[in-house]
């Protein structure tokens, strides 16, 4: 499928009067990026054997991703970058997740931010953001607020206007990758009287402040799943940002967020699909040629064959679904709520189906998977996070169901 996409890109360039050589060069670079990602995934998996249970942050992995150029794949073409498509981002994330779920999820946040905002930023912010990324910057986004959780368009963090910019105060959770961050995209609610939620939502692109300069780690991350993501809680205490740090015009931020929801949903889904794909590989590897006191070759047991068949079929379905949506359902049409509902479909299906595949793989592998440090055990823990990420299962079902029945998902009151 990926090869067909790149052949299509070459043909499109020819139609638009561009040099076909550009398409071939891009295809060669894309092959190189995937090969690099596979090499890194193997390295990351080896590292996770020692670091996972200790919950050590994946700092070295992030440095390797920066050095490899993978963190810069979304730099726009007019700035000398590769300008990876959404589908290409999901492919890379799946590969990396096979080696380390924590690394892939941390990279996913950076990919969502750098991929989703290429066309929407002011010239000044765009030049600053992608110039930094091109030079090795790593961007994270602490969006989850103490008072509103995953409802990013209604933050409890406040942004108070001052003559030279804004002052931000609040408590942010799940600041994934904060230790490796060079820059942040921080959301807050403007205190303007004329802007009612969610239209008071604002986002700011800033360099990561020095310790104590408006942001401090309120509590360090310690998680059952994805334990190496460094998803700390951050206290914003009179964090000063400049007026030019504002990413979108006043009042329009929630619309931009909704119009780019596909990046979050598809990139998150890719991480958990990548985990399921690796679980399947491990199950097949552990089964072939393995004997027990009952049989000489477990692969000959009907139950094992049926389990492998089910996993393979599920993975093929998830691959087709994500590829279709990440390729064809990229840009919103006139009905923005309906588009957001569409983006919920692969996120909801894949994060839940990935759990089933991993559980099946765990059964096939058997008791050895319970041992401390087992790769399937790590994957089993990590995949549990998928359905909990925004949009959660209930919210995704609500958006999908209402859109199908012709009810606006954003009308109020939501329930009567």
pLDDT digits (tens, 9 = 90+) for 180-219: 999 999 999 999 999 999 999 999 999 999 988 999 999 9
- As annotated, the residues of the chain forming the CATH 2.40.110.10 domain(s) are 144-250
- As annotated, the residues of the chain forming the CATH 1.10.540.10 domain(s) are 2-137
Q: Which of 14-23, 119-128, 388-397 has the highest mean pLDDT?
A: 388-397
Q: Which range is least confidently modeled, 11-20, 130-139, 231-240?
A: 11-20
Q: List Cα–Cα distances, 181 to 66, 177, 210, 276, in angstroms.
A: 11, 6, 12, 28
Classified by CATH at the fold level, domain 260-405 comes out as: Butyryl-CoA Dehydrogenase, subunit A; domain 3 (1.20.140)
Q: List Cα–Cα distances, 267 to 86, 92, 161, 329, 342, in angstroms.
A: 8, 10, 34, 13, 15
- CATH code, 144-250: 2.40.110.10
Inform me whether the pLDDT recorded for 277 exceeds 70: yes
Inform me whether the pLDDT recorded for 131 exceeds 80: yes
Looking at residue 84, its pLDDT comes to 98
Instruction: Compute the 3-state secondary structure of the chain and give helix, strand, coil in percent, each to the nearest 5.
Output: 55, 15, 30
Inform me whether the pLDDT recorded for 293 exceeds 80: no
Looking at residue 204, its pLDDT comes to 97
Looking at residue 122, its pLDDT comes to 85
State whether residue 119 is helix, strand or coil: coil
DSSP classification of residue 223: -
Alpha helices (H) along 172-250: none
According to DSSP, the residues that pair with 290 across neighbouring strands are: none
Classified by CATH at the fold level, domain 2-137 comes out as: Butyryl-Coa Dehydrogenase, subunit A; domain 1 (1.10.540)
CB 354 within 8 A of CB 386: yes
Looking at residue 9, its pLDDT comes to 53
DSSP classification of residue 320: H
Compute how many other C-beta atoms are within 10 angstroms of the C-beta atom of residue 80.
12
pLDDT tens profile 59-114: 999 999 999 999 999 999 999 999 999 999 999 999 999 999 999 999 999 999 99
- As annotated, the residues of the chain forming the CATH 1.20.140.10 domain(s) are 260-405
Locus of tokens 């096979």:
98
Cα(10)–Cα(27) distance, integer angstroms: 9
> Where are the strands (E) in 102-182, listed by range?
139-140, 144-145, 158-162, 165-175
Looking at residue 92, its pLDDT comes to 98
Nearest alpha carbon to residue 90 among 158, 2, 176, 23: 2
Inform me whether the pLDDT recorded for 257 exceeds 60: yes
pLDDT tens profile 361-405: 999 998 888 887 899 999 999 999 999 999 999 999 999 999 999
State yes or no: cis peptide before 233, omega within 30 of 0: no
Cα(30)–Cα(207) distance, integer angstroms: 30
Looking at residue 201, its pLDDT comes to 96
Looking at residue 414, its pLDDT comes to 83
Instruction: Please report, in angstroms and rounded to a whole number, the separation of the first and last CA atoms in the chain.
Output: 45
> Where are the strands (E) in 231-353, listed by range?
232-242
Give the chain's mean pLDDT: 93
């Amino acid at each position: 499928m990926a090869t067909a996409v790149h052949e299509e890109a070459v043909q499109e360039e020819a139609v638009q009067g561009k040099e076909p050589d550009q398409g071939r060069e891009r295809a060669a670079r894309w092959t190189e990026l995937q090969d690099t990602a596979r090499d890194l995934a193997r390295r990351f998996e080896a590292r996770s054997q020692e670091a996972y249970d200790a919950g050590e942050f994946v700092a070295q992995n992030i440095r390797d991703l920066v050095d490899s150029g993978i963190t810069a794949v979304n730099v726009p073409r007019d700035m000398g970058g590769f300008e990876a498509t959404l589908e290409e981002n999901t492919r890379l994330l799946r590969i990396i997740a096979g080696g380390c779920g924590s690394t892939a999820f941390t990279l996913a946040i950076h990919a969502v931010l750098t991929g989703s905002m290429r066309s929407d930023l002011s010239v000044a912010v765009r030049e600053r953001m992608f110039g930094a990324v091109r030079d090795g910057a790593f961007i994270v986004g602490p969006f989850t607020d103490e008072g509103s959780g995953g409802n990013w368009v209604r933050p409890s963090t406040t942004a108070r206007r001052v003559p030279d910019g804004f002052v931000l105060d609040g408590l942010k959770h799940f600041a994934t990758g904060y230790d490796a961050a060079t820059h942040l995209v921080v959301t807050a609610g403007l205190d303007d009287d004329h802007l009612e939620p969610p239209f008071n939502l604002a986002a700011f692109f800033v360099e990561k402040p020095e310790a104590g300069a408006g942001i401090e780690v309120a509590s360090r991350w310690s998680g059952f799943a994805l334990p190496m993501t460094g998803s700390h809680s951050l206290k914003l205490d009179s964090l000063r940002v400049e007026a030019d740090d504002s990413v979108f015009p006043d009042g329009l931020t929630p619309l931009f967020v909704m119009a780019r929801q596909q990046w979050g949903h598809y990139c998150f889904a890719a991480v958990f699909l990548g985990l399921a794909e690796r679980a399947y590989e491990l199950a097949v590897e552990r089964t072939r040629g393995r004997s027990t006191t009952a049989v000489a070759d477990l692969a000959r047991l009907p139950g094992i064959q049926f389990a492998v068949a089910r996993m393979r079929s599920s993975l093929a379905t998830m691959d087709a679904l994500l590829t279709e949506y990440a390729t064809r359902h990229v840009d919103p049409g006139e009905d923005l709520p309906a588009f957001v509902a569409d983006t919920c479909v692969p996120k909801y299906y894949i994060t839940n189906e990935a759990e089933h595949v991993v559980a099946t793989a765990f059964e096939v592998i058997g008791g050895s998977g319970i041992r401390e440090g087992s790769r399937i055990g790590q994957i089993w823990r990590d995949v549990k996070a998928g359905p909990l990420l925004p949009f959660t299962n209930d919210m995704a079902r609500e958006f999908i169901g209402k859109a199908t029945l012709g009810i606006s998902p954003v009308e109020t009151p939501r329930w009567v």
